[in-house]
Structure 1
């Protein structure tokens, strides 16, 4: 059984607040916070609480609280012992101490190791303002959906598309950037049309005759292959393509500008 030990405060390992802490503005504020921490459920709000340690118990009062700077909803209570010493404690831990069962069984059997505030685990419970904010449960990570594999026709087919932008692509053969056109909304016009999305093709002399601009609608024949757009080297911002472009149009012909 825990015995009264107000004269044995030298047994307590104090964790005083670091610097200033929040105090109560009035009795109403005190009652609100104490009930928020679950320390009092009666009509008359409790003014004294028990602090239990090493088979001893002490009467303490709540003087204020610390606020965790990154999360104002997380508090550390500041309690005062009868000799004026201050100590920080987690609200839930002080609440546990009010139970008559606290200190029995594993508490009294392991008084030398588990309940001592010098123990690292208990320090965390009593002074969470010095520790990290508890992480909220992580939602199960959603697997990225793999892009649908397109069945590309091998023969020359008819396409519709619009010009998205102009870009530059590195050519390993001549070791310089080539001009290319990025097409969007590319559709292979078959009996069952195939939506491709983005594609690219060389800005050839034939295409340059059309003096294309972003937004222009095109119809043309050509062959499509799976070939990722090689990034240009040292290109200006307006030539950078934000999304990956995985398909290339070869030898566009019978071009019509809408």
Structure 2
């Protein structure tokens, strides 16, 4: 399957290494400042949600993403970041509904809609392949339209408020923390830059000394250092690490421990 909306790059500048890709994504605010690995992204358009990965760039304002069917597409990094938010599709839908309600129907418009269906579709959703200025202004316009429609549908702001409260429920400390947890699972996740999948550990029953954090599970890389401990499922361990908000690919684990140190097994009854 091919996508007709793609804007294929005429020339792609490749990244010299995964480290360069990570640094570029940090500059574009597509990765956090503490990120150590690349990730896949979601591309949303007219009801479609497609997974994609960044494979290059045209210039500092245009990144090149690649879909699973190997088609490449140009997009502004700020707009790609906006697509990662949970409410992106809802805001686009609200904008389309508001425009449909506010626009008076005339014979001239009816003829225009029949003659140019593609233009009608462009009004229903933001166009990511326009000039960079239009891309950057699109999210603000959508939010403005959404605010006007909230008076008619009070359920929308209530749900939005609940979602915002959930996002701010966990305030992660900046420093290293003393943590105890139980090994829940050993698994692997895809690595698009390697022939082998990455080995990871998922921990449960997480407890952070001196902090009451609503974190049930965390994950970390199963590094060569950790392999020396010969950990098993069910082992209770203690360690020091910084906890960051980074979801594990293909798993519902939202937080990662970075550079765990002083890890050791402890008595599960302690």
Query: TM over 0.5: same fold?
Result: no
Task: Give TM-score scaled by structure 1 length.
Answer: 0.38
Tell me which protein shows more helix as a share of its residues: 2
| Bigger relative contact order, structure 1 or 2 (CA pairs below 8 A, ≥6 apart) | 1
Tell me which protein shows more strand as a share of its residues: 1
Task: Give TM-score scaled by structure 2 length.
Answer: 0.36
